[in-house]
Chains A and B, each alone.
Chain A
Amino acid sequence: MAHEPQRDFSPAQALRANPLVGTIVEPGPVRIDMTRFDNVVDGSAIDGRTGNFLFTVGSVASGKSTLQNFLVHRLHVDEDIHFDRTSRDGKTASEAYLNAWVHNIAAGHLPERTQKGVLREFNVRFGQRSRPSLDFSFIEIAGEDIRSIVPTADQNQPKLNDHLERYLRQSGVNKRFLFISDASRNRLGRSTFDEDVLFDTLIRYLLSDTGVGLKSLNILFIAAKWDVVQNEYKSDRQYFRTNFPQTRSTVLSSPRIKAQYLPFSVGEVVLEKRESGESVARLKSIEKKYVEFLISWIYHSFTQRQLKGYPNVNLSLWRRIKNFLAAW
C-alpha cells in the first residue's frame, strides 16, 4: 500500500545554507563538458546482472539527471557518509563522470539535457560507520527513451530503450524506482496529464505479464521543481492527487505496489543571460533536506535500516493522520 512521506519541509526561503554544501563559488568555474566521457553502456555486460539497482524514470526535462547529480553531490560532501565510486569494468570513466557532477553542482551548474539513445551506468557504495554499506547501481537515461513507451500516432511500436528494457528484465536485480514528475509543468488547473499517462503506462508495463512482468514495485514518486508550485498546492499529496489520478488509482488498487511521495527542490536557482543571448539556470544556493530524504529512502528501501542523522522514512501513526488531514 501507498505510504506518505514526511511532509514537514519548511519553505525554501527559510533555509539556512550549510556552509559546507550550500555555497556556490563566484564567479563560477567552467562547466565540465559531460559529452566528452565515453562511459556509455554498449549492452555487452547487462545480462546476468545482480545486486541493487535504482531506476530513475520520467519524461523529458523532468529533472532526472539533476536529482541524480544532487544525490551524488550530497553523498560526496557529507562527512557523516562514506561514499565510494566503484567500477565493474575497471575503467575510471564512470568515476570521472561522477566527479564532474560534483564539480559542476559545486560550481552552480545544473546538468544539461541527457543525450537521447545513450545510457550510462554508475556503481556506488555508501554507508555510515555503525551502519552497513549499501552497494547499488543507477543509470542515466534521456526522457525521450522512456517516454517512447507511451503509444502515439507517430510510433509504430511503443517501446522502452533496449538497454533499459534488458536491465529491467534481469531477474537477479533488486529494483527500486524513482518516478520523477516535473511540477513546473503541472501548474494548478493547467495539467495536461501527460505525466499521468506516462507513469500509468509504465507501471502497467512493468507489472504486466506481456511487459516486464515484475512481481512487485517499490516506487518513490518525486515532484521535482517543487519550489515552482509549492504555493499553488496545499501539499505534495494534493499535487499527486490532482495531477496523477490514473496512476494513483493503479497504485491504490494493486497490492504489488509500494509507493511513497516526495517533493524535491534543488535550492535557489537564477537565470543568467549569456552574451550569446541564451538564458542558463544557475544555482545560487543548495537545498539539502529533500536530497537527504531521498538518500534515507534509498538506504532504508534496500537495507531496511535507518541512517543516523537522516530523516526517518517510516511514518508514525500520528504523522499519517496529520498528513491525511493536511491533504483535505
Chain B
Amino acid sequence: MAGVGFFVCGTPSNNRGFELVELGPEKLPGAPAAYLDKAPADAAECHRIESILVDGQRYVQYSRVLRINPNDAAANRGAYVAVGCLIRERLPLHTVSNCLDVVTELYGRVCSGLTSDRSFPIGYALADFRNDGSPLEEKAAHECSPLLVADVVLQALNAEGPIDWPNTREVLLAPEEMTATDVNRYQLYSRQGALGSLASIDSDRARVKQTAHRATTAAKILVELQREWAELEGVAERLLTKGQAFQHVTLDMERGSKRDVALDAARSRYRRTEEKQVEGAEPHGEPSSFRTQRARVGYGAAFRRRDAAKEAPWLSGSGWPRVVALVLAGTLVAVAALYAAQRFLPELAVASAPPQAVVEPEPQQGEQTPVPPESDVARERAALDALPEQ
C-alpha cells in the first residue's frame, strides 16, 4: 500500500526530548519533527487530524495523542506520546478505516508500557518500539475494515440485512480471507447514503485504475513489439544484401567454370592435332612461324593451368567433377538465399508495421499489477513465425 507512513513519537523523557520511530511502509517526508512534534493543547487524550504541507506536497496526518508525565522530571512541560500515520494520497474508505485500526492497535501497545502515573519506566526509549506483528501494509489493505464490522454488528442489533439473524448464531469475518465480493455481500448501511456513495466512488476509481494500468501495460508491450519489428526489418535487409552479394559470387564462379570447360575441350583438340602433326607430314597452308607461335601460346596457357592445378588440387584433373561441385555449391547457396528471402520477404510484403503506440501515464505506485495479456503477443509471434512455412 503506497502513500502511508506509520509512526510513534513523543517525549517520554524530559532530558532526551523528542523521539521518533518510523514504522513504514512509506518513509516520512521532509523533517518529520517539524510537523509531528506537537503536544496536545489541553485535552489529556485526543485524535489529531491535520493537513500539512511538506515540500509542496499535501499530506494528512492522523494521530492519537496522549499527554503523559516525563520519566525524569517532576514538572511536565508538555510531554506526550503520539501514534499515527501520514497519508499522502486519497485512499479508499476501507483502507483509511484500516489505517485508523492499525493506529489504534499500535497506540494500545505503546500505552501498555505506561506506568500507573502515566509515565514510561525510567530508561524507556521509544526507539526500542518495534512492530512485531504482520506487516502494516497488509493490515491496511484488507477489504474487511472496521467499517464493515460495525455495519454487520449494527445489522445484528437491528436484526436486518442479508444475514438471516433469527437462524444465525454467529458470523465470522476473517479480514485476511475476505474479498471485495464478500464485502459487498455483507454491506448494508455502509452502502447507503454518503458513505455508500464514497464506497461506490472508491470501487469506480479502482476499476478506472485497473483499466488504466492494463492500457499502460498493453501500450508498453506494443512499444516493445515495434522495437522488435524494427530490429527484424534491419536483420532482413542485411540478409538480403548478403544474399545478393553471394549470388554475384556464385554467378562469377559459374562463368569461370564454363570458361574452364571450354578451354579444356580446346586443349584436348590441340593435343590431338599436335600428335597428328608429329606422326604425319607437315600440313600445308599455314606458315611454320605462325604454328610455332600458337604452340607457344598454347603451351604457356597449359603451363599456367598446370601450375594453378598444383596450387588448388581440387581443380586438377577432369573439368566435370569441378563443374558438378560448383553447381552443387551454387544450388545450396541459391536454396539458402531462397529460404532467407521466403523467411523475411513475405512478411515485409504482407504485414505492415504496427501502429504508433500511445504510452499512458505510469500508474500510482502500489497499484495492483494485472497479468499482462501475453496471449496476444504469443499469437502474433506464432503468426509471424508461421508465415514462411505457408
Contacts and interface: CB of A to CB of B under 8 A. Distances in A.
A187 B14 CA distance: 17
B34 A112 contact: no
Given A116-B17, A142-B17, A33 B41 contact: yes
Nearest to A280: B76
Interface string B28-46: 0001111001110110100
A281 interface: yes
Given A61-B73, A278-B67, A279-B75, A112 B39 contact: yes
A253 interface: no
Interface residues of A, number: 26
A35 B74 CA distance: 23
A196 to B, nearest CB: 15
Contacts of B14: 60-61, 113
Interface in B25-80: 31-34, 37-39, 41-42, 44, 67-69, 73-79
Contacts of A144: 17-18, 33
A269 B75 CA distance: 10
Contact of A279 (B31, B34, B76): B76
A320 to B, nearest CB: 35
A118 interface: yes
Contacts of A281: 75-77
- Of listed A111, A115, A143, A185, residue having the most chain B CB within 10 A: A115
A110 B77 contact: yes
A203 to B, nearest CB: 22
Contacts of A271: 74-75
B272 interface: no
Nearest to B68: A278
Interface in A199-239: none
A115 B31 CA distance: 12
A185 B72 CA distance: 10
A284 to B, nearest CB: 13
Contact of A116 (B37, B75, B117): B37
A277 interface: yes
B110 to A, nearest CB: 17
B118 A278 contact: yes
Given A116-B17, A116-B37, A279 B77 contact: no
Nearest to A115: B37
Contact of A60 (B15, B69, B76): B15
Interface string A101-142: 000000000111101111000000000000000000000001
Given A112-B39, A276-B44, A60 B34 contact: no
Contact of B17 (A61, A111, A185): A61
Nearest to A278: B76
Interface in A253-275: 269, 271
B15 A35 contact: no
Contacts of A110: 75, 77
A60 B17 contact: yes
Contacts of A61: 14-15, 17, 73, 77
A280 B69 CA distance: 9
Contacts of B75: 110, 269, 271, 279-281
Nearest to A161: B31
B69 A35 contact: no
B16 interface: yes
Nearest to B45: A276
Interface in A148-179: none
B11 interface: yes
A313 to B, nearest CB: 30
Contacts of B38: 35, 115
A112 B17 contact: no
B33 A116 contact: yes
Nearest to B118: A277
A150 to B, nearest CB: 13
Contact of B78 (A113, A143, A279): A113
Closest 8 CB pairs of A and B: A117-B34, A112-B78, A281-B75, A60-B17, A117-B33, A276-B44, A116-B33, A116-B18
23 contacts: A35-B41, A60-B14, A60-B16, A61-B15, A61-B73, A110-B75, A111-B77, A113-B14, A113-B39, A113-B79, A115-B37, A115-B38, A117-B31, A142-B17, A142-B18, A143-B17, A144-B17, A269-B75, A277-B44, A277-B117, A278-B76, A278-B118, A279-B75
